[in-house]
Amino acid sequence: MTLWQIIINISEPPKRKKRKDINTLEDVVRLLHESKRILVLTGAGVSVSCGIPDFRSRDGIYARLAVDFPDLPDPQAMFDIEYFRRDPRPFFKFAKEIYPGQFQPSPCHKFISMMDKQKKLLRNYTQNIDTLEQVAGVQRIIQCHGSFATASCLVCKHKVDCEAVREDIFNQVVPHCPRCPDIPLAIMKPDIVFFGENLPEMFHRAMKQDKDEVDLLIVIGSSLKVRPVALIPNSIPHEVPQVLINREQLPHLNFDVELLGDCDVIVNELCHRLGGDFEQLCFNTLRLTETTDKPPRLPEQPPSEALPASSDAAQEEQKQHSTDSVTKPSEETHSPNVTDTAGNNVTPPEPCPNAQCPSEETAEPSELPAEDVPKEEAAEVKSHTSNLEFRRRCWMSRINRSPISKRLETGQYLFQAPNHYIFHGRRHNTTHFIQRGRVGAQTDNTPEKTQSTVHL
Ligand SMILES: [Zn+2]
């Protein structure tokens, strides 16, 4: 066992402190130019625009699988090795949908590949299993949770290329080991890491080496809730600059610069600024402009005009909830995003008590700090306004709570000193960790010390 493995098994590395001298987008561009050993951590966010279906989403694969397999307790069960031994069919139905060869890499994958071509990439540690890094040409890749590239027999460990089981998977036949023809459990399981399985040894070997060589860490499209990958930022030397490119903040980590929003949008802007070969990767010729003024809240509209926007926002939040809610909703803790609403000099909207406001339950609690809900005014609204007026105010309240990222003009991003950037597509975060290990094994909110899982 290496020292790195001991560290991640028994200890919580101390939390890194932010470097005060690295704050801005300009700093990020300079670092990208200067750095020679960049370590990139990626997650589901880099593959979203490729159309990779999210296995956790309520209306995604799981919803369809749950019809055919009513005893599938939750989306994670598809990756539970015990469930797989009992019934591998749900997993293989999922496998068919995301099997390699059906998707194209995103601008983020191409961005990482360009770093690799320019000899700047120390390693890309991906938590994804879609193999789109290889499609994009990334050579220095570690698939922390394995991939569909190979499959192994559950019994004799005989390993084959993914092409050998492709036909079976597309015909929805459970692939069987050619060397164990008479053993029923000799299933060829794609080599992705299931719950309760260890991460590939290659991950530990590479990390042991890379942690002392890295000169810049970039996290792209991952909430880093899954260990041990989540421990990497605090496990490398703390003076190494760290940049976050993600839809949401990661409150459990300290980054020097936070670029929050749609990863493709942010990477496009970075490529413009980097110039040279990176500029060829731009899918949008529009250069973004910086504003330091928060976009104004929307002007008042009658409820009839307000409805579509609100519904849209509600759907978005619904989607976000279904995607992120891996633990029970009651276990979630929302962190109010103070920076998005604090200091806004527009009069706060009227409050909207849940019991009386239509569809209010879909509103995002984190977007409404407590001070936006003066109790006296709530009572006054209840007692003195007509029902119609009250409903109108409810809708206004919800519209005014739409996040800054949705109020930004096209081609704009917001800079909030010292190190916080909001682009289109930014999302509010939930702060819970994903509990792992065997399904149902954990009941508290303490993140696990070691981790083996699939994180799409
Ligand atoms: Zn076998």
Tens of pLDDT, residue by residue over 401-412, are 667 787 888 899
Query: pLDDT confidence of 372, banded at 50, 70, 90?
Result: very low
Q: Which of 33, 109, 145, 384 is catalytic?
A: 145
Query: pLDDT confidence of 422, banded at 50, 70, 90?
Result: very high
Q: What's residue 441's pLDDT?
A: 29
In the predicted structure, residue 53 carries a pLDDT above the cut 90:
no
Q: Pick from 434, 432, 368: which is nearest to 401 by CA?
A: 368
Least confident of 80-84, 153-157, 418-422, 438-442: 438-442
Cβ neighbors of 438 (< 8 A, separation 6 or more) are 80, 82, 195, 196
What residues does 190 pair with on adjacent strands? 151
User: What DSSP character marks residue 240?
Assistant: S
DSSP assignment string, 37-76: SEEEEE-GGGTGGGTPPPTT-TTSHHHHHHHH-TT--SGG
334 catalytically annotated: no
Q: Which amino acid is residue 305, in one-letter code?
A: E
- How much distance in Å is there from the Cα of 197 to the middle of ligand 1? 18
Query: Tokens at residue 124, please?
Result: 């890309």
The pTM score is 0.72
CA 72 centroid distance within chain: 24
89 HSE (CA, 13 A, CB side): 12
Least confident of 166-180, 213-227, 270-284, 302-316: 302-316
Q: Which amino acid is residue 56, in one-letter code?
A: R
Per-residue pLDDT reduced to its tens digit, 194-227: 887 888 889 999 999 999 999 999 999 998 988 8
- How much distance in Å is there from the Cα of 152 to the middle of ligand 1? 8
Query: Tokens at residue 301, please?
Result: 């509209």
Q: Higher-confidence residue: 101 or 20? A: 20
Q: What's residue 59's pLDDT?
A: 58
- How much distance in Å is there from the Cα of 157 to the middle of ligand 1? 6
- How much distance in Å is there from the Cα of 77 to the middle of ligand 1? 24
- SS3 label, residue 134: helix
For residues 50 and 271, the answer to whether their CB atoms sit within 8 Å is: no
Q: Higher-confidence residue: 15 or 77? A: 15
Torsion, CA 228, CA 233, CA 234, CA 237, rounded to 10:
130
Average pLDDT of the residues in 53-77: 73
Per-residue pLDDT reduced to its tens digit, 148-161: 889 999 999 999 99
Cβ neighbors of 35 (< 8 A, separation 6 or more) are 120, 215, 216
- How much distance in Å is there from the Cα of 158 to the middle of ligand 1? 5
Q: What's residue 382's pLDDT?
A: 54
Question: 172: phi > 0 → left, psi -120 to 50 → alpha, else beta; which?
Answer: left
Q: What's residue 6's pLDDT?
A: 62
Q: Regarding beta strands 141-143 and 188-192, do their DSSP bridges make them parallel or antiparallel, or are they unpaired?
A: unpaired
Average pLDDT of the residues in 46-53: 86
- SS3 label, residue 428: coil
Q: Pick from 117, 262, 225, 96: which is nearest to 167 by CA?
A: 96
Q: Which residue has the tokens 């009386």?
A: 356
Q: Regarding beta strands 289-291 and 412-416, do their DSSP bridges make them parallel or antiparallel, or are they unpaired?
A: parallel
Average pLDDT of the residues in 7-16: 75
Per-residue pLDDT reduced to its tens digit, 444-456: 333 333 333 333 3
Average pLDDT of the residues in 43-55: 83
- How much distance in Å is there from the Cα of 95 to the middle of ligand 1? 20
Tell me how crowded residue 448 is: count the other CB atoms within 10 A of its CB: 18
Dihedrals φ, ψ of 105, to 5°?
-65, 155
- How much distance in Å is there from the Cα of 188 to the middle of ligand 1? 8
In the predicted structure, residue 429 carries a pLDDT above the cut 70:
no
Query: Tokens at residue 330, please?
Result: 């009651």
Question: pLDDT over 90 for what percent of the chain?
Answer: 48
Q: Higher-confidence residue: 294 or 138? A: 138
User: What b-and-e string marks burial along 45-77, b requiring 16 or more CB atoms within 10 Å of the CB?
Assistant: bbbbbbebbbbbbeebbbeebbeebeebeebbb
79-83, 149-153, 304-308, 316-320 — most confident range: 149-153
Q: What's residue 381's pLDDT?
A: 52
What counts of helices (H) and strands (E) characterise the chain? 16, 12
Query: pLDDT confidence of 434, banded at 50, 70, 90?
Result: very low
CA distance 395 to 243: 37
Query: Tokens at residue 253, please?
Result: 């980590």
Q: State the chain's maximal CA–CA distance in angstroms.
A: 79
Q: Higher-confidence residue: 106 or 404? A: 106
Tell me how crowded residue 274 is: count the other CB atoms within 10 A of its CB: 21
> Where do the H-state alpha helices sit in 3-151?
3-10, 25-34, 61-68, 81-86, 89-98, 107-117, 132-136
Mean pLDDT computed over every residue of the chain: 77
Q: What's residue 101's pLDDT?
A: 87
Q: Higher-confidence residue: 357 or 390? A: 390
Q: What's residue 347's pLDDT?
A: 34
Query: pLDDT confidence of 379, banded at 50, 70, 90?
Result: low
Per-residue pLDDT reduced to its tens digit, 226-256: 888 899 999 999 999 999 999 999 999 999 9
Average pLDDT of the residues in 364-388: 48
- How much distance in Å is there from the Cα of 90 to the middle of ligand 1? 21
Q: What's residue 2's pLDDT?
A: 66
Q: What's residue 200's pLDDT?
A: 87
- SS3 label, residue 329: helix
Average pLDDT of the residues in 355-371: 35
Dihedrals φ, ψ of 243, to 5°?
-125, 140
